[in-house]
Amino acid sequence: MIKLSEIDVNLLVMFDLLYQEQNTQRVAQRLGLTQPAVSHALKRLRTLLGDELFERTSKGLMPTPLASRLHPSIAQALAQLQETLNRPEDFDPAVSERTFHLAMTDIGEIVFLPRLLERLAREAPGIALSTARSQHEDLKREMEEGRNDLAIGLIPQLGAGFYQQRLFVQRYVCLMREDHPLASGPFEQDAFSTARHAVVVAHGTGHGMVEEALARSGITRPIKLRLPHFAAVPYIVSSTDLVVTVTDRLAEVTRERFRLAVREHPVPFPEIPINLFWHRRFHRDAGNRWLRQLIFEMFAQ
């Protein structure tokens, strides 16, 4: 039994050309080799296959019955290999039906997805999106394996093996209903400390860092509601007296729809970088590259 590891692919290329040309000199010219080199390669192939393969006749080198049987399959295999190795960009967003998997927080879903989906509907109607929230090590593994294409956020654990691109930095503000008593006038730390608050518990995120900074500052406040996510926040604060600390991006996209007021936060916080991440295995993937370029074009500042 002949194993593929025993075969030099160049011998098969030479066999295909000999079958076409039936002349070692012409094959040598096409391959940029000397005629003795082609003859030596043919000798190797004869030894490997146990057959003369080509016999000299008055019309040139004529294939043996074995060579005639082998050639169609070898020619097809070489053509497929050539096509595979020299494939064109095989991603066309206008006709693609690919589903991209994005790791992001619920704030990310609120901020990014409406505009992104609107753009896709116009330019890439067959493309679908799927979002996920993964634990740190799970996210790393999922991106390595290609189960998540991109991740967006403050994700410092995605270091070695990952590319990242800055989209923007986010600030934190206070959000409340537009007719809240604190929606106008001075809004200092005293007013913040006495207001009734809703708090989103989001450990390991930029928001978690903000809450930890508030705790370290010694500022206390009456917390009347704790939530595990941000999606319900605009609905709740729009009809209560609760004040909530949120990102400026979330405030920006919800203030008008929910008739909310945005106040500068009386407590200074560092700005939080929001980056786009992808694994190096997919750095040259045409679809991955297209989507991350689109996201950068739409949201980078």
Q: Does pLDDT of 86 surpass 90?
A: no
Residues in the chain: 301
- Going by pLDDT thresholds of 50, 70 and 90, the confidence category of residue 32 is confident
- Going by pLDDT thresholds of 50, 70 and 90, the confidence category of residue 136 is low
- Going by pLDDT thresholds of 50, 70 and 90, the confidence category of residue 244 is very high
Q: What percent of the chain lies above the pLDDT cut of 90?
A: 39
Q: Pick the closest to residue 265 from 206, 210, 196 (CA basis).
A: 210
| DSSP secondary structure, 40-96, as one string | HHHHHHHHHHTS--EEEETTEEEE-HHHHHHHHHHHHHHHHHHHHHT------TTT-
**93, 149, 172 from 271: Cα distances, Å:** 35, 26, 8
As annotated, the residues of the chain forming the CATH 3.40.190.10 domain(s) are 99-169+279-299, 172-270
What pLDDT was estimated at residue 96?
93
| Residue-wise pLDDT tens digits, 171-215 | 899 999 999 999 988 889 999 999 999 988 876 566 777 777 787
**95, 260, 281 from 183: Cα distances, Å:** 48, 9, 49
What pLDDT was estimated at residue 301?
85
What pLDDT was estimated at residue 206?
63
CATH superfamily entry for domain 99-169+279-299: Periplasmic binding protein-like II (3.40.190.10)
Q: What percent of the chain lies above the pLDDT cut of 70?
A: 94
Residue in the block written with tokens 């997805």:
113
- The conformation of residue 238, written as its DSSP 8-state character, comes to T
Structure-token pair, residue 238: 């729009």
Q: Does pLDDT of 35 surpass 70?
A: yes
Structure-token pair, residue 9: 């692919």
Q: Does domain 4-85 have CATH number 1.10.10.10?
A: yes
Can you tell me the distance from the alpha carbon of 172 to that of 247, in angstroms, rounded to the nearest whole number?
4
Q: Does pLDDT of 149 surpass 90?
A: yes
- Going by pLDDT thresholds of 50, 70 and 90, the confidence category of residue 114 is very high
What pLDDT was estimated at residue 89?
64
Burial-class residue 27 by CB neighbours within 10 Å (0-12, 13-18, 19+).
buried
172-270: what fold? D-Maltodextrin-Binding Protein; domain 2 (3.40.190)
Average pLDDT over residues 84-105: 84
What pLDDT was estimated at residue 261?
95
What pLDDT was estimated at residue 127?
96
Asked if residue 261 lies in contact with residue 255, where contact means CB atoms within 8 angstroms, the answer is yes
Q: Does pLDDT of 87 surpass 80?
A: no
Average pLDDT over residues 146-167: 87
Average pLDDT over residues 140-155: 88
| Residue-wise pLDDT tens digits, 67-81 | 889 888 888 888 788
As annotated, the residues of the chain forming the CATH 1.10.10.10 domain(s) are 4-85
- Averaged pLDDT score across all residues of the chain: 87
The four Cα atoms 260, 262, 267, 272 give a dihedral, to 10 degrees, of 100
What pLDDT was estimated at residue 10?
84
